[in-house]
């Protein structure tokens, strides 16, 4: 059972960091009005404007921002500016004891998946898979339904995903209960064989990705299969796989073909179509929270992520 971080209150200060690539600063600036509308103040990490090739500053600078925000008692939660690439480069240097002693809301997705998995495993508290400031909130396409998802940070609330949010497809029927884990499939695949590989035993595994061809998704699911991660899972939450179209070959398996091949015979519930990931609207969820995936009714019920 994962610990739940304390809820936010109006007037709280949140830390804004760029754990991976440099964020779009114009979009980041545009997102600040949304935070103010939630009644939140904010403080930027020191490397938020740094550019080191495809990284937002050096690994040491980004790691220091992470540590500083968790250690600072005036910071009530942390929201990532964006993803990209680079969080895994310093994950083995994180002080997980520091984080465990100062659990607080930590929110992001995409490349942040590597940090979610590591924090859940070694600091044992719930983190949040949700839209980020420069990547999503500060863009003109940011959806009102996505904005509503931030309410879960201010009071303990049960989340219910139904077809009222998006059409869902039951690939394998059944009902399963367990902690939600996972996130971006590429990052889950990258973590295999390391001390930060995803623990799927008895869990509901969320997978999502963007701009990956069916053969690449096949490759990554095969990695998870050979590592035993698919057989261990209690059920599968298939998030958004935008632009999962063949580009290199005119003749290809479809995404559905690939998902059916790896998940169709596991005899656990599998539901596809969740608007979770690189999409709008984006249904934000607490990773590490207990949930019920009912593939018969096509619903996902998630217990509160905050205390």
Residues carrying an active site annotation:
110, 208, 278
- Residue 258, both tokens: 């690939």
- Residue 304, both tokens: 């509160």
- Residue 109, both tokens: 């997705």
- Residue 68, both tokens: 């500083």
- Phi and psi torsions of 103, nearest 5°: -65, 135
Q: Are residues 231 and 266 in contact, defined by beta-carbon separation less than 8 angstroms?
A: yes
**Which of 14, 18, 16 has its CA nearest to residue 38?**
14
- Which residues have C-beta within 8 Å of that of residue 291, sequence separation ≥ 6? 177, 178, 179, 180, 204, 300, 301, 302, 303
Cis peptide before 281 (omega within 30 of 0): yes
- Residue 64, both tokens: 């220091």
Task: Determine how β-strand 204-210 pairs with β-strand 175-184.
Answer: parallel
**Which of 9, 44, 46 has its CA nearest to residue 28?**
44
- Residue 259, both tokens: 């998902």
Element (H, E) at 160: strand 159-161
Q: Is the dihedral of CA 223, 62, 42, 98 positive or negative?
A: positive
Cα end-to-end span (Å), the chain:
14
Q: What is the largest CA-CA distance in the chain?
A: 56
- Phi and psi torsions of 265, nearest 5°: -105, 15
């Amino acid at each position: 059972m994962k610990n739940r971080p304390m809820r936010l209150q109006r007037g709280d200060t949140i830390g804004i960091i760029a754990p991976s690539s440099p964020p779009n600063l114009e979009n980041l600036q545009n997102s600040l009005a949304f935070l103010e509308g939630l009644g939140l103040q904010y403080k930027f990490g020191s490397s938020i404007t740094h550019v080191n090739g495809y990284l937002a500053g050096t690994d040491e600078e980004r790691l220091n921002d992470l540590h500083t925000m968790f250690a600072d008692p005036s910071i009530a939660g942390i929201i990532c500016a964006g993803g990209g690439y680079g969080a895994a480069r310093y994950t083995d240097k994180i002080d997980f004891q520091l984080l465990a002693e100062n659990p607080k809301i930590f929110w992001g997705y995409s490349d942040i998946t590597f940090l979610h998995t590591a924090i859940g495993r070694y600091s044992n508290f719930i983190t949040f898979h949700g839209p980020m400031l420069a990547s999503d909130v500060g863009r003109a396409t940011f959806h009102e339904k996505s904005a509503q998802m931030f309410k879960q940070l201010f009071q303990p609330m049960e989340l219910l995903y139904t077809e009222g949010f998006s059409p869902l497809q039951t690939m394998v029927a059944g009902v399963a209960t367990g902690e939600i884990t996972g996130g971006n499939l590429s990052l889950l695949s990258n973590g295999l064989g390391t001390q930060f590989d995803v623990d799927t035993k008895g869990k509901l595994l969320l997978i999502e990705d963007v701009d990956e061809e069916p053969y690449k998704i096949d490759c990554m699911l095969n990695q998870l299969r050979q590592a035993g991660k698919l057989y261990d899972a209690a059920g599968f939450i298939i998030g958004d796989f935008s632009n999962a179209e063949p580009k290199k070959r005119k003749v290809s398996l479809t995404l559905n073909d690939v998902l059916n091949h790896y998940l169709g015979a596991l005899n656990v519930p599998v539901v596809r179509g969740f608007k979770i990931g690189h999409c709008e609207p984006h249904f934000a969820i607490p990773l590490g929270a207990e949930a019920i995936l009912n593939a018969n009714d096509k619903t996902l019920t998630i217990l509160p992520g905050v205390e």
